[in-house]
Amino acid sequence: MKCALITGGSRGIGRAVCVRLAEQGYHILINYKGNTAAAEETLEAVRQQGTDGTLLKFDVGNETEVNEVLGAWIDANKDKQIEVLVNNAGIREDMLLFQMSTEKWKSVLDASLDGFFYVTKLVLTGMLMKRYGRIVNMVSLSGLKGTPGQVNYSAAKAGLIGATKALAQEVAKRNVTVNAVAPGFIRTDMTEGLPEKELSAMVPMQRFGTAEEVAEAVAFLSSKGASYITGEVLNINGGLYS
Ligand code: NAP
């Protein structure tokens, strides 16, 4: 059985990616941190595509939890291959740096950057052994240009861009590609409460993007057809930055 693991698959962009990869016939491993009701809704949407999925509840930023839940699943499912890994889980805790607590700094880096490390390390071994894999990391416009009020988030995403490019070179020979997608403003729970009308005026396309528009790019980079693209960062931002 060919599987795709999407971290943060219960809501927003992650959910749209789960549904899009389900359309391609993958068994979807839906990771989430705490919102079981939302994760079950994603699972139902995956099933509507004619495939199935498994819920894996763990905090990507907690190495013990990652090893206990994901590590145990991998050990118990040696006949199944995780072909696609989408490191999508992430949070924002916006605040000016001079006011930022250590906890707010660490929690954002834990989810995006440490989470990438813990999860990828576990999944990569199988990909290297099978000599095939697709890894897509969810970064952000903030990781490319830096956003004031988001020093923690910008650092986490910029770090993930560096990790994407470095890992791509480490594993290229084994047919494992590692890319990133960098959304601008996408309408999800994460951007709820932002002044959408005001911010849309800054976007050449004059609107926020949808989770489905991001999922389409992830599906391409996860496909067999994207075989000679690695270490790349694809902007999905309506022309806001490229
Ligand atoms: P969202 O709607 O807030 O959903 C976040 C998802 O991540 C949820 O499924 C949540 O699980 C999960 N999650 C959060 N922390 C986690 C952790 N420590 N361990 C496991 N799962 C965790 O966010 P979104 O807008 O879809 O964002 C998805 C990704 O895109 C993030 O990496 C974000 O930085 C990036 N991004 C978003 C935008 C945007 O405009 N929305 C722009 C650029 C980049 P629960 O449901 O269990 O809480």
pLDDT tens, 227-237?
999 999 999 99
108 CA → ligand 1 middle, Å: 11
Residue 180 phi/psi, 5-degree rounding, is -135, 150
- Quote the distance between the C-alpha of residue 5 and its chain's center: 10
* Residue having the nearest C-alpha atom to atom 41 of ligand 1: 186
Percent above pLDDT 70 for the chain: 100
pLDDT (mean) for 100-110 = 98
Rounded to whole angstroms, the Cα distance separating 182 from 68 reads 30
Domains of the chain by residue range: 2-236
Rounded to whole angstroms, the Cα distance separating 190 from 52 reads 27
**Is ligand 1 within 6 A of the CB of residue 59?**
yes
Can you list the pairs that 194-202 forms with residues at least 24 positions away whose Cβ atoms lie under 8 Å?
202/240
Q: Is the pLDDT of residue 241 over 80?
A: no
pLDDT (mean) for 1-12 = 97
Q: Is the pLDDT of residue 242 over 80?
A: no
- Quote the distance between the C-alpha of residue 114 and its chain's center: 13
Q: Is the pLDDT of residue 202 over 80?
A: yes
pLDDT (mean) for 100-125 = 98
- Measured at the CA of 187, the angle between CA 183 and CA 193, to 5 degrees, comes to 115
Single out the residue of 214, 120, 215, 222 nearest to residue 166, CA to CA.
120
Tell me if residue 153 is catalytic: yes
Q: Is the pLDDT of residue 36 over 90?
A: yes
CB 79 within 8 A of CB 126: no
Using CB atoms within 10 Å of the CB of residue 182, give its burial: 0 to 12 exposed, 13 to 18 middle, 19+ buried. buried
209 CA → ligand 1 middle, Å: 15
Question: Can you tell me which atom of ligand 1 is nearest the CA of 157?
Answer: 34
**Is ligand 1 within 6 A of the CB of residue 20?**
no
Fold of 2-236: Rossmann fold (3.40.50)
What pLDDT band is residue 50 in, cutting at 50, 70 and 90? very high
For the chain, counts of helices (H) and of strands (E): 10, 7
Q: What is the mean pLDDT of the chain?
A: 97
The two three-digit tokens of residue 22, written as one number: 């389900």
